[in-house]
């Protein structure tokens, strides 16, 4: 059986580490990227099933990454969860309109991530 895959995209090494521990606990094989450009390069080679995506990052932010990802061949397939401190309804709506499947508010824990993964059909 092929393991499920998740790409965690966040400029914070600590957030990536915490998210990795939780997502691996859900049975996913995890890769990491520190910004949207790094994540886009990764996706050009291997498209993950789920992407946990930060909004504000240097080099390429989450919205730019998401819009470009969705234009890739196969780029509509991954479930994308924005993981952000952004709480404004208009910004969340913008993310969903750009192709995000859901969003997770920081700080998060294992229970929250598991429920969000379940809501988008990833677990």
- Read off the pLDDT of residues 56-106 as tens digits, 9 standing for 90 and up: 999 999 999 999 999 999 999 999 999 988 788 898 899 999 999 999 998
Helices 62-71 & 36-45 angle (0-180, nearest 10): 20
Contact at 8 Å (CB) between 33 and 5? Answer: no
pTM: 0.95
Beta bridge partners of 81: 52, 102
| pLDDT reported for residue 97 | 93
Percent of the chain beyond pLDDT 70?
98
């Amino acid at each position: 059986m092929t393991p499920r895959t998740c790409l965690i995209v966040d400029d914070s090494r600590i957030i990536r580490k915490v998210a990795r521990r939780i997502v691996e606990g859900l049975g996913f094989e995890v890769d990491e990227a520190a910004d949207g450009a790094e994540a886009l390069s990764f996706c050009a080679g291997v498209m993950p099933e789920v992407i946990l995506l930060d909004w504000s990052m240097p080099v390429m932010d989450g919205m730019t990454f998401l819009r470009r990802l969705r234009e890739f061949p196969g780029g509509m397939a991954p479930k994308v969860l924005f993981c952000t401190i952004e709480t404004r309804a208009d910004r969340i709506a913008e993310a969903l309109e750009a192709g995000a499947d859901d969003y997770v508010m920081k700080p998060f824990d294992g229970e929250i991530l598991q429920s969000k993964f379940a809501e988008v059909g990833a677990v």
